[in-house]
């Protein structure tokens, strides 16, 4: 086969493959803020929030209150994620930062069953997270973070990595 034709066939196959992998938009009933409960700032001891946007970009934020001297300062950590929906199964895969060693995708995936106004999620270690929908939208800083994640994914789709997220 002619090398040019072979190249064109390869490009066409790659375009079809990339289109098949493109994330389907999440329905409006699923986007917004999902939470396990009261934040440490509101008197709770531990909380996980999952912020989902229609394009499939997500941010998971965890917070818990420490005992002792650090009790006044709740620890918060955020993780950028990419989601896909298949029926009533939501998969949220963490996007590792460039500075972390590579991990297996199955070690970084949260599997959730969607039911009415709740998500029941299982992490790779077997922990169950039950979340309820708190809002149909995210706060402005989370929306900015999701936009930054989307831009970085568009710029570096081969990496799937987030280097810096600054709202």
pLDDT > 90: percent of the chain = 3
How many structural domains is the chain composed of? 1
Tell whether 110 is covered by a domain.
yes
Domain of residue 59 covers: 24-155
> At 167, is the secondary structure helix, strand, or coil?
coil
Rounded Cα distance between 20 and 144, Å, is 27
Low-confidence winner among 2-6, 61-65, 87-91 (lowest mean pLDDT): 2-6
The domain that contains 132 carries what CATH number? 2.40.128.500
pLDDT tens digits along 9-68: 333 333 333 333 445 688 988 998 898 886 655 666 678 888 898 988 888 887 776 666
- pLDDT value of position 72: 60
Tell whether 14 is covered by a domain.
no
DSSP per position, 124-136: TTS-EEEEEEEES
Tell whether 2 is covered by a domain.
no
pLDDT class for 7, splitting at 50, 70, 90?
very low
What b/e string do you get for 30-41 counting C-beta neighbours within 10 Å, with b at 16 or more? bbbbbbbeebbe
E strand or H helix that includes residue 21 = helix 3-21
pTM of this structure:
0.68
Check: CB of residue 146 under 8 Å from CB of residue 51. yes
Q: Mean pLDDT over all residues of the chain?
A: 70
């Amino acid at each position: 086969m002619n090398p040019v034709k072979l190249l064109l066939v390869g490009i066409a196959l790659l375009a079809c493959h990339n289109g098949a992998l493109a994330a389907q938009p999440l329905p409006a009933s699923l986007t917004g803020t999902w939470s396990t409960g009261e934040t440490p700032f509101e008197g709770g001891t531990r909380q996980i929030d999952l912020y989902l946007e229609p394009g499939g970009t997500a941010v998971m934020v965890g917070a818990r209150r420490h005992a002792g001297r650090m009790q006044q300062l709740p620890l918060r950590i955020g993780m950028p994620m990419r989601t896909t929906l298949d029926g009533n199964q939501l998969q949220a895969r963490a996007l590792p930062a460039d500075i972390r060693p590579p991990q297996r995708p199955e070690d970084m995936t949260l599997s959730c069953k969607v039911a009415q106004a709740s998500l029941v999620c299982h992490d790779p270690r077997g922990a169950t997270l039950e979340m309820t929908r708190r809002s149909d939208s995210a706060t402005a800083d989370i929306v900015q973070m999701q936009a930054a994640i989307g831009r970085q994914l568009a710029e570096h789709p081969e990496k799937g990595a987030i280097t810096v997220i600054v709202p």
